Amino acid sequence: MGSVIPLVLAAVAVVLAWIAPALMARQRRLRRAPRAALVAWQAVTVGGILAALLTAPAALPLVLDGDEPLEHVGWLAVAGLVSGAVLLRLLVSGHLVGTRLRAARADHRDLVDIIAHHDREREQVRVLQHPTPTAYCIPGRNARVVISQGVLDALPPDELDAVVAHEQAHLEARHDLLLEFFAVAHEAVPRPFRSERALSEVRLLVEALADRAAVRRSGEVATARALVAIARSRAPEAALGAGSTAPVRLKLLADGPHRAVSAVAYGYAAMATLVPLVLLAVAWT
């Protein structure tokens, strides 16, 4: 029985890192509960990593208390390779993604501080002299909300508040760290097994969450109008923009939240994180 557990853990890792994300990305209903859905995405990602990292510790009892420990040394070596390779990929990916994002943000923040001016009424906001309505935020230390003069000119006060509330929600909830976590996990997966759809789905959920903060500040109608107004805006790569996914998010605003979807997503999240831990416990009993 014990000798099967490392294999099961490796299989769970493949399921959680590859198959589950592909299936989840197709479940449009998850978008109705963005907070719970993001927890589910995090749980699946953490569960997949845990399952891979625990493969070696789960193989250890085979050698320590097995009847024929020498026969199992091969198993332990293979399991150790799996866990070690995953750990190494995560560390490398974490370093590369982190360095890249921080450098791009620092450069962009410097640029914004040179060419944009302070908004008179809003401490964190910087205004770019550009007619195209654009809004995004630069997260991290000395975070900035950047809007263009086009936004100030085109949007009435309640819609402008919605735009700023959306960006501030990103900064306050540290959505950048959440997205960085997913980017690190994504790049740690070997290229043929990566799911771009999973990553764009997570980005959409983060936008939907920030939209809800905007609705709380300015109401549904003003938020929807503001979304349409800045739909054409393009944010720089390392920033969090408010535009591009506008049509889907407009529909989500109209649909509103869904309690049952949220409950299912939380249950699923709990299972995805617990399964690898339970398997390890079984291996050691």
Query: Sheet holding 144-148: strands in order across?
Result: 117-118, 125-128, 144-148, 135-138, 240-241
Tell me the closest approach of the beta carbon of residue 39 to Zn ion, in angstroms. Answer: 19
Q: Is 138 in the site for Zn ion (CB under 5 A)?
A: no
Residues ≥6 apart with Cβ < 8 Å to 81: none
Residues ≥6 apart with Cβ < 8 Å to 59: 5, 6, 72, 75, 76, 78, 79, 80, 283
- Cβ nearer to Zn ion, comparing 230 with 275: 230
Q: Residue 145: helix, strand or coil by DSSP?
A: strand
Tell me the closest approach of the beta carbon of residue 179 to Zn ion, in angstroms. Answer: 11
Size of the residue set binding Zn ion (CB under 5 A): 4
Of residues 1-60, which lie at the interface with Zn ion (CB under 5 A)?
none
Tell me the closest approach of the beta carbon of residue 251 to Zn ion, in angstroms. Answer: 16
Of residues 94-113, which lie at the interface with Zn ion (CB under 5 A)?
none
Of residues 214-273, which lie at the interface with Zn ion (CB under 5 A)?
240, 242
CB atoms within 10 A of CB 4: 13
Tell me the closest approach of the beta carbon of residue 116 to Zn ion, in angstroms. Answer: 18
- Cβ nearer to Zn ion, comparing 155 with 240: 240
What would the x/- binding string for Zn ion be over residues 166 to 205, using CB under 5 A?
Answer: ----------------------------------------
Residues ≥6 apart with Cβ < 8 Å to 17: 45, 48, 49, 52, 189, 193
Write the DSSP string, 2-26. GGGHHHHHHHHHHIIIIIHHHHHHH
Q: Residue 261: helix, strand or coil by DSSP?
A: helix
Q: Which residue of 202, 207, 252, 275 would you call a contact of Zn ion, by CB under 5 A?
A: 207
Q: Stretches 47-55, 112-120, 210-218, 266-274: which one binds Zn ion (CB under 5 A)?
A: 210-218
Q: Is 210 in the site for Zn ion (CB under 5 A)?
A: yes
Q: ∠ CA 151-149-239 to the nearest 5 degrees?
A: 70
- Cβ nearer to Zn ion, comparing 232 with 259: 232
Tell me the closest approach of the beta carbon of residue 240 to Zn ion, in angstroms. Answer: 5
- Residue whose Cβ sits closest to Zn ion: 242
Range 155-179 burial, b when 16+ CB lie within 10 A, else e: beeebbbbbbbbbbbbbeeebbebb
Tell me the closest approach of the beta carbon of residue 218 to Zn ion, in angstroms. Answer: 15
Binding-site ranges for Zn ion (CB under 5 A) = 207, 210, 240, 242
